[in-house]
Structure 1
Amino acid sequence: MVSIVIATHGESAPALLASAEMIVGKVENAHAITFLPGQGPEDLLDAYAAVVPDGEEVVFLVDLFGGSPYNAAARFVAERENADVVSGVNIPMLMEVFQGAKRSGATVESLVKKALKAGSTGVRAFKGGKAPKPAGEQPAGDVVPAAAPAGEIDPNFPRDPNETMNVVFLRIDSRLIHGQVAGSWVNHWGPQTLIAASDAAANDKLRKQLLLQVGPASARTNVLPVDKAIRVYFNPEYKGMKTMIVVESPMDALKLIEAGVKVNEVNVGGVTFKQGMTLITEAVSVDDEHVAAYKALDALGVKMTLQQVPNSQRTDMMGKLKEKGLV
């Protein structure tokens, strides 16, 4: 296993590590090293040696090219095989490297490539556009032709259960697409397309633009009304397409499943607290309408699991509602 060392001036290294782990989950082989006023290169070398045993593969992610953490790390790796240093550490870089380090067969070379790519493509401007995607990658945008019908579903439109997308993951998340979704879950499931199924987001030009901007490079990102997402699911043109769907509420999840969308289970990831709601975990709140939808999903035999990121604890949703006295 390749160790990851984050080294920065001041106290930003522990904060970067904590922020990245909030998104991708706990990372066992990651270490944060601080470089404080009054310390010198030898202090850094000692700190590096304390967390990286002799012979262990390691990638250093440091803040400034040519700064003391970088220079000490360069000295440290110069005499070692399978070790390297990358400067310009940021959250997108950490997310990609952490995900890559968890995979069997991860190497220093592969992690360095991920760090360099993610560190640069993660730098974007909202009004100035985003960094161009590497050649060969498909642009974000609707997977359905613009002329495809939207609005209320005609109950008689063709629905062949053998001519559908392959939904590998359905998540309930008020934020739809954000770091945990685009960074953790997409990397975990590897979908070809990511659909945010939300009437509110699809009809809000600014919000839709923001969601498309933060969509992962590895999957086509789509923001569709729920009815249109159902039509796309049953479109034979997309038969077998490995798909991940994110909805804002259990009511939308219920609408998809009642329409015939097949899923193995529903992941309850995050529902923002609002006045009148009950907080059942630090990330999930419910009101009466939510509870009714969860009960309806349960009656349909749908398994529902509370889980933030792929390597975090899994909790049965109905069990949690019973524990809180809500069902």
Structure 2
Amino acid sequence: MLGLVLVTHAPLGDSIAQCVQHVMGSVPDGFEVVDVPASEDIDTTVKRIQDAARAVQAGAGVVFLTDLFGATPSNAAVRAGAESLNLPTVLVSGCNLPMVLRALGFRDLPLNEVAERLVMGGRNGIVSTGATAPQRQTFNPAKNDDSARDHHQQ
């Protein structure tokens, strides 16, 4: 099973973890949050991310979810994955609650399949309904067996 490490600007990660607990009833094993305060040294952040990755990994690899690509949490996660972890990792940036929930649901898939599904889940979690009811949204061109088809059901 894949381990998940959520790396965000503080306090976003802890807030998302609280939402996960609200939705799922508890925060599942194999999920860690590293909230990065503005004052923290990047070397300290990298070490904390590596420690979290080691804590959640179960042999299949680790998915790093970050809030903003190119920002300190994302850069530190890239560095953490590249430096001495010796396990497969992937980083998906732009996380939101639908993406995190999807990540928790797809941890049994191979690492190379997960990133694409998480990006799709994050995008499909963003829905503009305007003044119409969800049943009147525009046609979804996804194939019937594609999880993007039921974008309102994360």
Q: TM-score range by the shorter chain?
A: 0.7 to 0.9
Q: Deviation per CA, 1:143-179, whole angstroms, max 9, x where unpaired?
A: xxxxxxxxxxxxxxxxxxxxxxxxxxxxxxxxxxxxx
Counterpart position of 2:46 = 45
Change (3 A) 1:132 1:65: farther
Counterpart position of 2:36 = 35
User: What is the aligned length?
Assistant: 141
Change (3 A) 1:110 1:21: farther
1:306-325 equivalent positions in 2, closer than 5 A: none
Q: Is structure 2 residue 82 aligned with structure 1 residue 82?
A: no
Q: Which has the higher contact order (CA 8 A, sep 6+)?
A: 2
Identity of aligned residues (%): 21
Counterpart position of 1:243 = none
Q: Residue 108 of structure 1: CA displacement?
A: 1.8
Match of 1:136 among 140, 143, 147: 143
Structure showing greater radius of gyration is 1
Q: Root-mean-square deviation (CA), in Å?
A: 2.8
Change (3 A) 1:96 1:131: farther
Change (3 A) 1:133 1:41: farther
Match of 2:99 among 67, 79, 93: 93
1:1-327 equivalent positions in 2, closer than 5 A: 1-26=1-26, 27-53=28-54, 56=59, 57-79=61-83, 80-101=86-107, 103=108, 106-127=109-130, 133=140, 135-137=142-144, 214=152, 216=153
User: TM-score, length-normalised on structure 2?
Assistant: 0.78
Change (3 A) 1:86 1:131: farther
Q: CA separation in 2, counterparts of 1:132 and 1:36?
A: 42
CA contact (8 A) 1:62 1:86 kept: yes
| Structure 2: segments with no counterpart, 5+ residues | none
Structure with more of its chain in helix, by fraction? 2
| Structure 1: segments with no counterpart, 5+ residues | 139-186, 188-211, 218-327
Q: CA separation in 2, counterparts of 1:213 and 1:73?
A: 28
Structure with more of its chain in strand, by fraction? 1
CA contact (8 A) 2:34 2:52 kept: no
Q: Residue 8 of structure 1: CA displacement?
A: 0.8
Change (3 A) 1:49 1:22: same
